[in-house]
Every structure is written in C-alpha cells, then in structure tokens.
C-alpha cells in the first residue's frame, strides 16, 4: 500500500502545482487553463496531442487520486477486519477482488524502481 500511496501523493503534488483547474484544448493547437483568467499551458504538434493533454488535466488527476485513495482505504479497512478474525466468504471474496484492483492501480507505475514484479496482475 505504501508504494501506491506514495505514487498517489506525487501525482497529487504535481497536479496541485499545475493549477487544479480544468484545461481546455484550443483550436490554435494549444492548451489553456479553463478559469476566469485563462492561462497558456502548452502547445502541441497536432490537435490529437492537444486533446490528449487537455483531457489529462490536473483536475482530472486529482479526481483519479481521490478515487484510488478510497479504494486503498477500503482495502485497508477490510484487511483490518479480516485480521480481527471476522471472516465471511463474502468479505474474503471482496477483499481478493479489491486486491486485484490495487494491482491494476499500481500497474501504470511499473517503470518505477520500487515497483515489484510480483504485484503485476
């Protein structure tokens, strides 16, 4: 869990440093912050790159971090319950499914030196 929490913290830090506002694609081939005072973010070689950059804006990253953290929190709560001896077939199955989701959430970070191959789904 620590590996994933650290990656999420870094994603959040970078997103907040880039303004937590949404970004928008401009027809001019640039990306701008969608706020009262629009600001230039980047230019790109083609409109597909512009759209991709704008779709992966800091606001989206912050939403993704929040969602992933909730999954990690739920997994850790289930782990605690199971460690206390409260095992039901349904809880064990839910915990196994959530562990699979955590492995998938860690997968985009597989190039990180701390990633462990045994986590790969």
User: Are residues 50 and 105 both part of a single domain?
Assistant: no
User: Are residues 43 and 86 both part of a single domain?
Assistant: no
User: Are residues 97 and 72 both part of a single domain?
Assistant: yes
User: Are residues 12 and 45 both part of a single domain?
Assistant: no
Q: pTM for this one?
A: 0.85
Q: Is the pLDDT of residue 39 over 90?
A: no
How far is C-alpha 43 from the geometric centre of its chain's CA atoms?
A: 24
> CB under 8 Å to 68, separation ≥6 — which residues?
4, 8, 105
**Dihedrals φ, ψ of 10, to 5°?**
-65, -45
* Tens-place pLDDT, residues 49-70: 999 998 999 989 999 999 999 9
30 to each of 22, 27, 54, 59, 64, how far by Cα in Å?
Answer: 14, 7, 9, 18, 24
pLDDT at 118: 95
In angstroms, what is the C-alpha Rg of the chain? 19
User: Are residues 14 and 70 both part of a single domain?
Assistant: yes
Q: Is the pLDDT of residue 38 over 80?
A: no
120, two tokens: 């790969």
User: Are residues 14 and 29 both part of a single domain?
Assistant: no
User: Are residues 76 and 115 both part of a single domain?
Assistant: yes
d(CA 113, CA 111): 6
User: Are residues 12 and 66 both part of a single domain?
Assistant: yes
Q: Indicate the number of domains in the chain.
A: 2
Domain coverage including residue 98: 1-19+58-119
């Amino acid at each position: 869990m620590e590996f994933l929490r650290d990656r999420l913290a870094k994603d959040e830090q970078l997103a907040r440093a880039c303004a937590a506002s949404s970004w928008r694609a401009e027809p001019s081939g640039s990306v701008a912050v969608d706020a009262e005072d629009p600001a230039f973010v980047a230019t790109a070689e083609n409109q597909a790159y512009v759209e991709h950059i704008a779709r992966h804006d800091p606001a989206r990253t912050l939403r993704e971090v929040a969602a992933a953290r909730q999954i990690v929190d739920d997994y850790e709560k289930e782990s605690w319950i199971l460690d206390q001896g409260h095992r039901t077939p349904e809880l064990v199955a839910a915990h196994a499914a959530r562990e699979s989701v955590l492995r998938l959430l860690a997968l985009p970070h597989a190039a990180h030196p701390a990633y462990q191959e045994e986590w790969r789904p």
